[in-house]
């Protein structure tokens, strides 16, 4: 699973050729969630409220880049790095 960003202990990644809807994965410690790119809703999993809020804030700033990376990953091409939450 290629890592595309990392900030405040949160790792953001995408799987190659993953199932729809377009989403990314956020890991924090041993917990993880899948978050829809368009809806910015949790599709599955659980992480702390603080980590989830930071991941959502980051995703809202990078939705276009996330969608571009989704399209690359669906073609088995490496996704691009996205700047972390500052």
Give the whole-angstrom CA distance, residue 73 versus residue 16. 5
The pLDDT of residue 1 is above 80:
no
User: CB of 34 within 8 A of CB of 53?
Assistant: no
Give the whole-angstrom CA distance, residue 49 versus residue 81. 25
Please give the pLDDT value at position 61. 97
pLDDT per residue over 30-74, tens digit each? 999 999 999 999 999 999 999 999 999 999 999 999 999 999 999
Partners of 3 in beta bridges: 13
The token duo for 57 is 């804030």
The token duo for 79 is 């996704």
């Amino acid at each position: 699973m290629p890592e595309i960003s990392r900030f405040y202990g949160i790792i953001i990644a995408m799987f190659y050729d993953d199932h729809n809807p377009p989403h990314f994965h956020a890991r924090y410690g041993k917990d993880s969630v899948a978050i829809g790119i368009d809806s910015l809703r949790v599709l599955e999993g659980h992480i702390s409220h603080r980590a989830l809020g930071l991941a959502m804030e980051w995703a809202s700033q990078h939705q276009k880049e996330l969608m571009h990376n989704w399209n690359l990953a669906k073609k088995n091409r490496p996704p691009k790095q996205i700047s972390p939450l500052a």
